[in-house]
Structures are given as structure tokens and as C-alpha cells.
Structure 1
């Protein structure tokens, strides 16, 4: 008997009855995920070249565009209940999936460390104001531990925290905007018309595009592994209409996220106009003190917590669990994500690490294109799900590797490196296009795919035909050994 490392219960398709995230819950998760330092920075950078109304317009366009990409890939989780690393076995192979998946897992873990550091400094500020305590590293360790426990308790625990944190974050954000606007007015600057270095013509158009693609590139990582979250979103059984089936996902990705993202971009922009620094904490510390400052810092703690659990620890833990196999459950993946996030020491590499992570986000854009091409253009949403859990099934390909996927990823990622401002679009288009051509006209002629040869809805669709995919929990598979010709069987 040979051990099957693909059959980990934590990675089996989520059943319809176990999908607990509501429309409102998913939207509230977005509220917390958007409030990060890099979001504010996009707004601050934008108003260096453009007026605030143009920055807002570009943000709305970019947010709606990336929201659509996220919604498209989210259907993998909603339709089939599959997580990101498990579906990646289709375009990359049962072993090949680990290389791009680990790239995303380490990236998510590093973002966890960055956001935890940012949140721990805010926590330290609160404790210093209220009790005179001043030790940010102790706060960092405590904050990291609390977030990891929250995530290990499961997706419902994460949603409950988001339900609590989101209204507080929104209320404090409104106060932040009002306070920052007053500061800008006192400095003689009109937030709606002020531009530090006004540009016109082609330069203005380029600056406009940079804001659009900055918003898209920032969420490229989540658009790749959104199935790890969307598989827990409630969706109707036997609903063949794509829009109705993905309603909860669409409301979060196309309504909640663009609205909150735009508002946070505005706060970053107004902060820069007020004190020439896009970090609102720095800006408000100049005017706020005591309990008011503590309330401000509380928002940042809640926001980093909500961002980390949903956008970073869940995807990373799911990926590490996939790599580790059946003996490496989700909670072990959570601990691994936490260790990686601490080992990189974000407090020493803060400025460098964010640039590295945004660069990696551009590289992952090619994966989004490959997922889109594989799921929609080639398989047309039909997936032979049981074979994703078989070591010697149709997704083993050449020694567990889908060469077409790797060629498309390498070319798409390399191209995005040379055009970082437009990396998401370039990576997506090249990744999707090259994968489609190679897979359809070469690779899948060599390695036949059941759902392509027999595109049956009843056989290969999930909840849209009323199916819950059930995987047999068998950790071992029989190994067939050839008998030497010179052995006498009788």
C-alpha cells in the first residue's frame, strides 16, 4: 500500500451544508481586508500627479476590474467547493502545484508579518496611552498569536470577527476623513483640487493608468487564491445562472470592495494633502492625542487583524496543508504561516519587503490568467474533481507536472517584471493566452482529460447541478507491481 498525500480531509471539497459565509459576512470581511498601509499609499502617490476626483475615478475603474477577476476565479470554490492549491493540480499537476502555490503561501505569510508589525505598533501606542506600557515586540508576539488562534478556529470565527470589526472600522474611518480634511484646510489646501505636481496630456493619462493598475496589482494575489475563501460562501443549489449562483461573491467583490477601497484611497490622498504623508496615523498624531488617538489606533489594530486572517493566513495555511499532506492539518498550516511571517523580521525589512511583495503580486497575475483559461476556456467550468485527489490519475501528467502551465507562468511572470506598472494586465493576458494555446493544441492531446472529451454537466459540474463532491477518505492506495517473467506462478 502506498500513502496518498493528496487526500487531506482539510482540503476536501466543502459541502453545501458547511458553507457558512453570508453575503453580509463576506462584504464585512472586505471592509477589514482593504484597510492596509499600501492602500493609503496608492492614494498618496496618486495625488502627486492627479486631482483627487481623477484618483477616485481611476480607483473605481481598477477596483471594479479586479473585482470582476476575483469573482470569475471565485466560482471555482463556489461551484466545486475546491481550494486554490487543490484546483492548481489541474493546470500545474499534482506535484507541480506546489511551486506556484508555495510562492503565494510565502507571500501571504510575509504580508501577515508586515500587517502584524503595523498593527502591533498601533497596539503598543494604545497600551502606552492608557497604561504607560511600551514594548512593541511583546505586542507583536501577542497580536500574532491572537490572529493565528482566531484563524485556526475556522472560517466562521473569522466571519464573526469581521462582523464585529467592520462597523467600528467604518465609523472611525469617517472620523479620520473629517479630521484630515480639517487639517488640510488649516494648511490652506483644498483636497478636491490640490495637486502637488500637476501633469497634463500623455503624462496625466499615464498617471491615471498607474492608479488603475496599482489597485488591480495590489489584489492580484487574492484574485489567484480566492477559491480558498469562496468555497465557504453560501450559494444556491441547482442554480445554473452564473450571476445568481455567485451573487454573494459579486456583492462583496463588485460592491463592498470598490466602495471601501475607494474610501481608503481618499483617506490616504487627503492625508498626503494635509501633511505630505499618506500614512493617516502619522498625519493624525499631529492633531490627535489621548483617548482620541487610542481610538484611531484601535481601528488600525482591528483592520490589520481582519486583513490578516482572511486575506493572508487562510490562503497560506491552506497551501501549507496541501504541501504537508494528510498528517499536516489546517491548524498546522496556520502555525507555519505565523512562523514564516515572524522569521522574515518585517520590523527590519519593512520598506524593502513591501516592494518585494508587490513585485511578487505581479508575478502571480500570470497564475490568475492560467486559472481563467483552464477553468473557463478549456474545461468550461467542468472538473473531474475525484481525479484531483488521485496520485496516478489524469492530473499526474509528466511525473506530476503540467509543462504547459509552467511555460505560460514563466513567460507571463517574466513579462510582468519588465512593466511593473501594468504587470497585472500583461501577466494575465500572456499567462491565459499561452496556456490556452499550449494546453488545448499540445498538452491535452498527449494527456487526455475526461471533462474535455466528454463535456457532461451531470458528470463534471458541482452545485449548479445539485452535486456535493464527496471524496473517499482513503489515505492509502494499492500499488500494482509487475511480476518478473522468470517467476513460476504455480
Structure 2
């Protein structure tokens, strides 16, 4: 191996083989159950019933969740087919050096969400300890809770799945209990949760409010739809399966069934919490409506949910990204703790008041990346990837000094335009990012920098699990040495 190529070949970022894929279809679905239970989800529900009745909020959530679930399933195929992570594949549309800029944006966003969810869980943990032993120090709970999550994630993806398998059934059962508690409180106040609205709107204002709920749901999961390959590369999938739906069954069941169902139910809980006590935060709502052991159990669900959410949706993607930036001397576990540091430094306890606007803006910025990934993988390369060159400093993805200029132009256009239309940010960002990238690369950049899989779209050379291939860099190095010997 040449020295200048070694920094692209961190052991934690090499393609995952068939034997290394440990997450089952049920395991990925359980991961979704845990990932959805976050403060931002409850906030969308609470904000929604300020102007719309709950049935319309539910309908908008279902539409938004299924739509983003489709995007997630599409991009997940990158990890399932080739076993590569998000920051590694980003070397294709952004270059071996350029990948770091959009990847770090996502890594910082994931770390911020880790901090927000840790604070949310820490307040619930503090509530339990205060109730049982009179301990009251949310900051100490924050650091203890953060450390436990980081340690769990540093133990590897199987430890992440095992925790989700344990937490998901508990979360589902206690969530039903929370709904019954809060809806009972609302009824006692004379409010029917399915008809009550704080400031009802009609006509165009109602349609706009409906769209805000749709795109808030999509914007929140735009983060994961971009870097889902970092998780999907661990999902079990059959070799030699050419049917896209059968090959991606694990991702599809999780993203198009488990995600919409759980997201919708948690939106309902946030809405009912707001209707019951005028606060979408169920931790505060429960402390007003429940006492004793009941309250302790309900708060325990919040703790488990934040733990499950963070390790899957935030720490794993962020750690993978930071490990990619740091190179071979910065392993995955170091990336895990780097995410923890960033998530703490941003002081997440001060970010609650701007969650919905942030979701819409970040959704637009990251949706442009999702569009670029879609155009690069499906429209231009047609799922065929020269994976060996993703790990070469001097390969086809070097472009101009390690940067794919077309990728950055498309990203900037998609992100900037979406910023001015926050209510439609995800859709605008995705469409503009994909269209600009496709046109720039097809008719300009890839004419200048030829791509092997586009020039010769061979299944046997450039597909992965579909043709039964495990991408092994040692195999490619052996082929090079054999050719050199000849």
C-alpha cells in the first residue's frame, strides 16, 4: 500500500463484508422505535395543534414520514449494496478531500442532536433520582447519561442493536401508558384531544400549517437520510439478489413501516401533552399529571428512548464522520467521544426554543446532499461504484486537488435556495441538488474526469452484494501486485 493512500483506509471505514452484517430486519425496526422518541418529535406535535386539529396533524405526519422513509430507503442501498459508510461514499460526489466539508456539517448536526437528546433524557433521569432519593442536579445527570451512551456506542454496532432490542418493547408499552395518562388529564380539563385546537386557522393558513408539519417531519430525518449508509451497511441482506425490494427489505421495513408508525404515535403524544398542560415536553407534562411509581416508570421510558435514539441516529453517524476526517490514527471509538465533546460544547439546553426553524433550515441544507447522493448513485453511476478507488488518494475521485467542484456548486445552489423557502426546504433542496449535480456532472465534470463505472457499466466489476461480492481492498492490492510482477 502506498503511503499517500493509507489515510483513506482507516480500518473502521473499510467496506463491511457479508459476515460483518449483524443487524436484522427486526433489529433495525426496533432501532427506529427508539430513534423516533425525541423532544423534536414531541415539539412538532405540540406546535401542530396550536393551529390544526390533531387528525390533520396526524395525516401530515404520516405523509411526511412515508416520504422521508422512501428517501432513507433509497440512500440506504449504498450501504447495503457496497458496505461503505456515508463519509466514504461522499468521496464520489465531493472528492477525497472535499468529502470532509459536507460530512463535518452532518457530524456537527448529529453531535448537536446528541446533546439535545442527552439533556432531554438527563432531565427525566434527574426527575427519577429526585423523586426516589431527593437528588437534584440535572447537569451531573447530563454528564453521567452522556458517558453511558458514548460507552455503549464505543462497544460497536452489535451493542447498539442489543440495546435497541431491549429498549423498543419497553418504549412502546410505556408510550401507550403516557398517552392514556395525558389524554385523561386533557379530558379532565374538558378538552377533547381529537378536536381541540388552540388557535384554529382555515384556508391558505391551514394549508401552510399542514405543510409545515409535513416538512418538519421530513427535515428532522433529513439528517439520517443523508448518512443512513453508515448504519445500513450493517443490515443483513441476501447475496445474488437482483430485486431491489428484496435486497433492501431490512431498510424498507424499518424506514417505511416502523418509522411512520412510531413517528405518528410520538407526534400524538407531543400534541396531547400540549393539549393537557400547554407544554409539548412530556417530561414536564408528566411531572404535572403523574406521581410516585407511575411517574418514575414514565420518565424511565424517556431515558431509554433518548439513549436508543442517540446511539443509533446521532453518535454512530457522527463518530464515523469524525473517524474519516481523523484518518487511521483516529479510530471509531475516538470519533464517538469527539461527538460527545461537540454535543456538550454547543450547550444544547439553550437550543430548545428554536427547534422547528432549525429543523426546516437544516433539512434544506442536508436535503441537497440527499439529492446529490441520489443523482450520483442512481442516475449517473446506476448503482455501480468503483469502490477500490474510494480508498485511493490518486484514484478517479481525486478530481481537482481532491475536490469535485460540481458537487459543491450543486450543494450551494440547493442549500441557498431552500433557505428562502423554509416551509418547502426539503423538497426544494433535494430537487435542486439532484438536478444541478446531474447536469453539471453529465455534461461537464465527468467529461473532464472520467469515471470507470460510467464509461464501462459492468455488473461484475462494479456491483457489490448483488453479484455476491465483498469489497476487499486486499484483493485489489493483490491484483495490482500481480500485474506489476508481470
TM-score bin (small chain): over 0.9
| 1:436 Cα deviation after fit | 0.3
Q: What is aligned with 1:325?
A: 327
Q: Which runs of 4+ in 1 moved over 6 A?
A: none
Rate the CA distance shift 1:193–1:350 in 2: closer, same or farther, 3 A: closer
How do residues 289-308 of structure 1 correspond to structure 2 at under 5 angstroms? 289-308=291-310
Rate the CA distance shift 1:323–1:354 in 2: closer, same or farther, 3 A: farther
The TM-score normalised by the length of structure 1 is 0.95
Alignment partners' CA distance in 1, 2:215 and 2:343: 27
- Any gaps of 5 or more consecutive residues in structure 1? 479-490
Q: Is the 8 A contact 1:129 1:290 kept in 2?
A: yes
Alignment partners' CA distance in 2, 1:287 and 1:48: 21
Q: 2:426 aligns with which of 404, 410, 424?
A: 424
Q: Is the 8 A contact 1:369 1:429 kept in 2?
A: yes
Q: Match of 1:422, SS?
A: helix
Q: Is the counterpart of residue 182 in structure 1 residue 200 in structure 2? A: no
Q: Deviations over 1:55-88 (max 9, x none)?
A: 1111111100000000000000000001000000
RMSD over equivalenced CA pairs, Å: 1.6
How do residues 176-255 of structure 1 correspond to structure 2 at under 5 angstroms? 176-255=178-257
Q: 1:140 aligns with which of 126, 142, 145?
A: 142
Alignment partners' CA distance in 2, 1:348 and 1:224: 26
- Any gaps of 5 or more consecutive residues in structure 2? 481-486
Alignment partners' CA distance in 2, 1:105 and 1:389: 20
How do residues 377-456 of structure 1 correspond to structure 2 at under 5 angstroms? 377-456=379-458
| 1:200 Cα deviation after fit | 1.8
| 1:152 Cα deviation after fit | 0.5
Q: 1:465 aligns with which of 454, 467, 471?
A: 467
Q: Is the 8 A contact 2:123 2:283 kept in 1?
A: no
Q: Is the counterpart of residue 364 in structure 1 residue 405 in structure 2? A: no
| 1:467 Cα deviation after fit | 0.5
Q: 1:36 aligns with which of 21, 30, 38?
A: 38
Alignment partners' CA distance in 2, 1:282 and 1:405: 44
Q: How many residues align?
A: 476
The TM-score normalised by the length of structure 2 is 0.96
Q: What is aligned with 2:3?
A: 2
Q: What is aligned with 2:283?
A: 281
Rate the CA distance shift 1:360–1:313 in 2: closer, same or farther, 3 A: same
**Is the deviation greater in 444-453 or in 106-115?**
106-115
Q: Is the 8 A contact 1:40 1:264 kept in 2?
A: yes
Q: 2:52 aligns with which of 50, 53, 59?
A: 50
| 1:361 Cα deviation after fit | 3.1
Alignment partners' CA distance in 2, 1:13 and 1:369: 23
Alignment partners' CA distance in 1, 2:193 and 2:464: 50
Alignment partners' CA distance in 1, 2:343 and 2:355: 11
